[in-house]
Amino acid sequence: MTLRYGQRERVGEYTANWFNKPTSVQVEYLVIAGGGGGGSGSGTSYNGGGGGAGGYRSSVSGESSGRNSSAEATITLTPNTYTVAVGGGGSANTSGTNTSLSGSDITTITSTGGGRGASNLAAQTGGSGGGGAGPNTGGSQGLAAGTANQGFGGGDGYGVSPTFYGGGGGGATEAGNTDSAGFGGDGLASSITGSSVTRAGGGAGGGTSATYRTGGDGGGGNGGAYSGGQQSGFAGTANTGGGGGGGGGATGGAGGKGVVIIRYVTANNPFTVTGGTITTSGIYTIHTFNDTGSLVVA
């Protein structure tokens, strides 16, 4: 016989078993901000830096949080309405928007939007920082830092005439330029949904050559190639927080929108919980928010 909360089982003439209903549920979360937009280039004068990935915060047991830090503590939810604000990716030369999970009985969890890549404007700090502009004959070449426990900084612009690259934007697990000059920093993989997905990769810098520099694993956009098929930077992937690619003498790519995902052990939840796209995997129920909304525990 399966007993539900508050149900009494009569065994024999007078025996009864009571089960007290829990008053809260423990949840794990993944909160990723919008990625920074890639910097725009200007002809052969300079190439844009890659946008930094949106900040990455995770409390999933056995996984890392951003900047290769330890997983954060889980949170306790009670009957309440929680606000989920999913940050958008930045357009060219614009940083991404913060993503947050908040409620009256929890400390707000905020991931910082990714920093924009450099152009004739300086790169900006963010969850992960933007890359510097290509050091051709102009542009703001300096990189920008990431945020502790969220992401790494961007890479410097690089080049030896006649080939120049904007620096790669930082990702959740490594800095821009780590894999090669102009490459975006890689993001982090999480199995919070039941399948391993990598998110929060940095955008690549734009270049003067015909070869695209590669965005970081986890949705980072490729850089534009001044002598190639597309001079504009490529956009970061939506709902990964990937940074946008820098322009190869042209417009930078937009950063990818962020995401919020929470999960809890189905058998440990005494409430009706609604909000987001609801799926199950093994022992877990998962709520995925690709857009701003509300998580209602009733």
Does 266 have pLDDT greater than 80? yes
| Token pair belonging to 28 | 């794990």
Predicted pLDDT of residue 134: 86
Give the list of residues 6+ apart from residue 203 with CB closer than 8 angstroms, or none: 35, 36, 38, 50, 51, 52, 53, 117, 131, 168, 169, 184, 215, 216, 220, 221, 222, 223, 233, 234, 236, 242, 243, 244, 245, 246, 252, 253, 255
Predicted pLDDT of residue 110: 98
pTM above 0.85, yes or no: yes
pLDDT tens digit string along 31-59? 999 999 999 999 888 999 999 999 999 99
Predicted pLDDT of residue 140: 61
